[in-house]
Amino acid sequence: MAIEDDVLVIGGGLAGVTAALSAAEHGDRVRLISYKQSTLRHASGLIDVLGYAPDRGEGESREGDGRSEGPLSDPFDAIPDLPTGHPYERVGLERVREALLFFDAIVGDAYEGGHTPSNALVPTVSGTVKPTARYPASVAPGLASDARSTLLVGFETMPEFDAPLSAAHLRAADVPFPVRGATISFPGELRDDAKRTRYAHILDWDESVDTGTGAGSAPGRAVLAETIRPHLEREARLGLPAVLGEENTGVVRRDLEERLGVDVFEIPMGPPSLPGMRLEDLLYGALEEHGVRVTTGVPVVGCEASDGGRRVDHVLVDRKGQEVPYRADEYVLATGGLVGKGVRSSRDGVTEPIFDCHVPHPEDRYDWFVDDAFGDQPFARFGVAVDRELRPLDAREKPEFENLRAAGGVLGGYDYAAEKSGSGVSLATGYVAGRRAGKEVRR
């Protein structure tokens, strides 16, 4: 027998979770199905709405040429001028604003940035600054708009963050604050390939570690503070890799601040990302609070249509080789793009594998890319095209199904990496797709 719900969301990333939470405000029975572990733990934890806008140049058409301009101070000023078909153009400016307010309500004081429509500039491990709209509270004291002097500290066992090099890059970028870098030994016996969760665990629970001075053991935070202290001169703030606890980050930061007498902030890192894991915990906790049923570890492998092919009747879920039908009134597709394999490419073309939705793309594979590795790559915009209800469109620009919507990376018409818009698009389209799916159920 088929498992039945009001709204079924496929995909466990930011778009899928947002869609499920949004739908849960209107539908009584909402289910989220996710095959693999959430991609949130691989993300920076920053919420980028629009950092760089496509630059069409004077007199160019609305379709644009794909180049980017920025970084943008106010992303909302640029959204109305985005090309036709861009996900933000599909949902509209006000829905983008609503989606961010929806996010703010979920995460509470764990995130900052909601006090202003402007982007903040967040220093990264590479020594650049990234425009972002929402950022973890642990990142806030390190914003590039703050003119206070800064010391960056990296760890010998974490070679992916070279603090002196990062500081040099920031100085070269002419940031408005003095910045230096230093590298120290992290307390305890950690290998160079130690997982970041191991660093976080030591600080979370203030584990006893060897002081390295021959004086025996002491709590990890105290040893870390004493190791950093000789490197501080007159800096007003201290930047560390984002490993300051997984569950007790606020406590860890306050403890270090009190011991050292400076503000302490985290620098977002690549995967595995502790800020991403913390965000995942917040969002999945909200799913539980809202009564969303979460089914994980099983792939959705296909669908069956009804009503003359106009509606999705049910999807098929592979449970240990057996295809089990899951039926709902409304569906949201949030499986990601080419990287997440929500969109797949082969010698035969580019496809969406579950609903077989049309993915616009040139027939000639040589038109999928340009020779310049840093150029405007057409494949970066591959994804399903949608109407303003976020329903995927077929080759004739008609809805594939009346009761299917799409959100997040599976959408085409934008380059999230170049625009720095991935999280914002996932939030906005997930919010709108879930809201409209839930309202359809209530009709």
Instruction: Measure the CA–CA gap between 385 and 409, rounded to whole angstroms.
Output: 12
Q: What's the CATH number of domain 3-109+277-442, 3.50.50.60, 3.40.50.300, 1.10.10.10, 3.40.50.2000? A: 3.50.50.60
- Using only C-alpha atoms, the chain has a radius of gyration, in whole angstroms, of 23
Instruction: Measure the CA–CA gap between 386 and 397, rounded to whole angstroms.
Output: 8
One-letter amino acid for residue 272 of the chain: P
Instruction: Measure the CA–CA gap between 243 and 268, rounded to whole angstroms.
Output: 9
For residue 1, the model assigns a pLDDT of 66
Residue whose structure tokens are 């709108």 = 432
For residue 69, the model assigns a pLDDT of 66
Instruction: Measure the CA–CA gap between 403 and 304, rounded to whole angstroms.
Output: 13
pTM value? 0.93
Asked if residue 2 has pLDDT above 90, the reply is no
Residue whose structure tokens are 């016996």 = 189
Instruction: Measure the CA–CA gap between 245 and 256, rounded to whole angstroms.
Output: 12
Task: Record the tokens describing residue 132, joined without a space.
Answer: 């972002």
For residue 173, the model assigns a pLDDT of 93
Q: Between 227 and 377, whose confidence is greater?
A: 227
Residue whose structure tokens are 């903040």 = 120
Tell me the per-residue pLDDT of 10-27, one tens digit each, with 9 for 90 and over: 999 999 999 999 999 987
94-108, 127-141, 368-382, 383-397: least confidently modelled range: 368-382
For residues 156 and 183, the answer to whether their CB atoms sit within 8 Å is yes
3-state helix, strand, coil in the chain (%, to 5): 30, 25, 45
Domain ranges across the chain: 3-109+277-442, 140-267
Average pLDDT, integer, range 203-228: 90
52-61, 244-253, 374-383: least confidently modelled range: 52-61
For residue 242, the model assigns a pLDDT of 97
Average pLDDT, integer, range 73-88: 96
Tell me the per-residue pLDDT of 132-187, one tens digit each, with 9 for 90 and over: 999 999 999 999 999 999 999 999 999 999 999 999 999 999 999 999 999 999 98
Domain 140-267, what fold?
Rossmann fold (3.40.50)
Pairing of strands 293-296, 208-210: unpaired
pLDDT tier at 342 (50, 70, 90 boundaries)? very high
Residue whose structure tokens are 């490197």 = 231
Q: Count Cβ atoms below 10 Å from residue 290 Cβ, excluding itself.
A: 15
Average pLDDT, integer, range 90-97: 97
For residue 55, the model assigns a pLDDT of 60
For residue 68, the model assigns a pLDDT of 58
Tell me the per-residue pLDDT of 289-327, one tens digit each, with 9 for 90 and over: 999 999 999 999 999 999 999 999 999 999 988 999 999
* Burial class of 392 by CB neighbour count within 10 A (0 to 12, 13 to 18, 19+): buried
Task: Record the tokens describing residue 236, joined without a space.
Answer: 């007003």
